[in-house]
Amino acid sequence: MGNPHILVVPFPAQEHAIPLMELSQILIKHGIKITFVNTEFNHKRITNALGKEPEGQVHFVSIPDGMGAEEDRNHIGKLVEACLKFMPGELRQLIEKIKQTDDDEITCVLADMTLGLGVEVAAELGIKTAALWPPATLLLALILNIPKLIDDGVIDENGTPLKHEMIQLSLDSPTMSPSNFVWMTIEDFTTQKIIFDLMQRYNKAIEKVEWLLCNSTYNLEVGAFASVPKALPIGPLSKLDKLGNLEVNFWPEDSSCLKWLDQQPPRSTIYVAFGSITVLNPTQFQELALGLELSNRPFLWVVRPNVIEGKDDAYPEGFRNRVADRVKMVGWAPQRAVLNHPSIACFISHCGWNSTMEGVSNGVPFLCWPYFADQFLNESYICDNWKVGLRFEKDESEIIRGEEIKSKVEKLLSDENFKARALELKEKTLNNIKEGGSSEQNLKSFIEWVKS
């Protein structure tokens, strides 16, 4: 028997590759060998973004995702179907190949629980299996409750809401509107159904994994962890000691913004970023630009390539000139370092879970702009439970106007209580990864199990 060697299998998307890579770099630090599986398509994106093959102690391999070269990987339904059909066979072959060619065969599969790729294959091959659940644990609690929601007549067999009153899974958890249940936020019914069916398989899949790790902490999600006893928090992953730098960005990271932030006064700057998937319609993009201009503060704005729906440019006329002395725009920021920078005052965020955890771990107050999936849940945590942020209100045409943005920035930043609560939440959250903290203990036990 060789050294412990984990095969890490993320769902092939940016926001899944990041936490799985973070966990990989933590495990490497503890002497565990890691082979990280990307799809060929994503491997190419990562290599293009880096301008070279990723290197370091994590060993990268890539396998096909089962989609044609021209097919749209942003179509979540098609991607999920292709991966589930095609990738298990590829993973089986990969594990066999490693067995024949590597001194250390795969001793454990670490799957991304959102897709569960690798769980069945590992079970078949008698390899021990663990999983990471990258989103909020509350989302998992909701999904595992689907059979009960159907029994109670809250949703039908397709996941369509039959009742519209708010749901609360446990006393400590935010209330949720059934129309915001994660599968309902996907526009077309066929995709909704694919995702809903996938989620209904989680109860069984979870039985097969020995460890179910979450990028979260007990203090943030007391109720959710009580509802899913198997789930163990090990977060916040972004704040744990790692070996090596993250090598899985899909866009080239522009770190010049850190130097720019050094020039800004402490707690002066608005950071604006909407993660890796969200797109804005041109009117909305324009209003956001106006709002940032009206706020009269420095701002660092991540304008990802293709972030504007159907257009390359939707800036208001003369905008760039008028704000030139107080703006920095980048295509992709080193977000975890940005949020840790003393010049940041607040975070205009789409409330993806990674961004939520990163903002919380750095004590940054939020202005919430959720779009779809679990982002509404995370917004409720931020605004209603932890009280470290504010919501934007849309007007009658479903647009968040520039004036609304300006007024919420002022409201958030003129009330010291938001910052005070954010700092208190940060401290409590980081206590989990200190010696003896619950995340630290869970991670330690997990590592012992991997090595045993």
Contacts with ligand UDP by CB under 6 A lie at 14-15, 18, 273, 275-278, 302, 332-333, 335-336, 350, 352-355, 358
Query: Is 359 in contact with 238 (CB distance < 8 Å)?
Result: no
How many other C-beta atoms can be found within 10 angstroms of the C-beta atom of residue 225?
Answer: 25
In whole angstroms, give the CA distance from residue 343 to residue 143.
39
Q: Smallest distance, Å, CB 375 to ligand UDP?
A: 7
Q: Smallest distance, Å, CB 23 to ligand UDP?
A: 13
Select the residue whose beta carbon is closest to ligand UDP and give its number. 352
Q: Smallest distance, Å, CB 64 to ligand UDP?
A: 23
Cis ω on the peptide bond leading into residue 64 (within 30° of 0)? no
Closest alpha carbon to 23 in 8, 40, 4: 8
Closest alpha carbon to 362 in 287, 430, 452, 305: 430
Q: Smallest distance, Å, CB 303 to ligand UDP?
A: 9
Q: Please identify, using beta-carbon distances, which residue of 74 and 203 lies nearer to ligand UDP.
A: 74
103: left (phi over 0), alpha (psi -120 to 50) or beta: alpha
Residue 312 DSSP symbol: S
Q: Smallest distance, Å, CB 290 to ligand UDP?
A: 22
Q: Please identify, using beta-carbon distances, which residue of 130 and 300 lies nearer to ligand UDP.
A: 300
Q: Please identify, using beta-carbon distances, which residue of 18 and 26 lies nearer to ligand UDP.
A: 18
Name, in order, each residue with C-beta under 8 angstroms of 119's C-beta and a sequence gap of 6 or more.
Answer: 109, 111, 129, 131, 205, 208, 209
Give the Å distances, CA to CA, from 439 to 63, 132, 341. 32, 13, 24
Q: What are phi and psi of 233, to 5 degrees?
A: -75, 140
Give the bridge partners for 287, in sequence order.
Answer: none
Q: Please identify, using beta-carbon distances, which residue of 121 and 199 lies nearer to ligand UDP.
A: 199
Length of the chain as a residue count: 452
Q: Smallest distance, Å, CB 452 to ligand UDP?
A: 31
Q: DSSP characters for 348-401?
A: EE---HHHHHHHHHTT--EEE---STTHHHHHHIIIIIS--EEEPPP-TTS---
Q: Smallest distance, Å, CB 275 to ligand UDP?
A: 3
Query: Is 314 in contact with 282 (CB distance < 8 Å)?
Result: yes
Q: Smallest distance, Å, CB 215 to ligand UDP?
A: 10
Q: Please identify, using beta-carbon distances, which residue of 181 and 250 lies nearer to ligand UDP.
A: 250
Q: Smallest distance, Å, CB 4 to ligand UDP?
A: 27
Q: Smallest distance, Å, CB 180 to ligand UDP?
A: 16
Q: Please identify, using beta-carbon distances, which residue of 9 and 360 lies nearer to ligand UDP.
A: 360
Q: Please identify, using beta-carbon distances, which residue of 260 and 332 lies nearer to ligand UDP.
A: 332
Residue 165 DSSP symbol: S
Q: Please identify, using beta-carbon distances, which residue of 107 and 378 lies nearer to ligand UDP.
A: 378
**In one letter, which amino acid is 134?**
P
Q: Smallest distance, Å, CB 120 to ligand UDP?
A: 25
Q: Please identify, using beta-carbon distances, which residue of 121 and 251 lies nearer to ligand UDP.
A: 251
Q: Please identify, using beta-carbon distances, which residue of 21 and 122 lies nearer to ligand UDP.
A: 21
In whole angstroms, give the CA distance from residue 76 to residue 83.
10
Taking the alpha carbons at both ends of the chain, their separation in whole angstroms is 11
Q: Smallest distance, Å, CB 213 to ligand UDP?
A: 16
Q: Give me the sheet containing 327-330, strands edge to edge.
A: 327-330, 299-302, 269-273, 344-349, 366-368, 389-391
Query: Is 355 in contact with 329 (CB distance < 8 Å)?
Result: no
For 203, the token pair is 């109860």
Name, in order, each residue with C-beta under 8 angstroms of 199's C-beta and a sequence gap of 6 or more.
Answer: 143, 146, 182, 183
For 320, the token pair is 């760039």
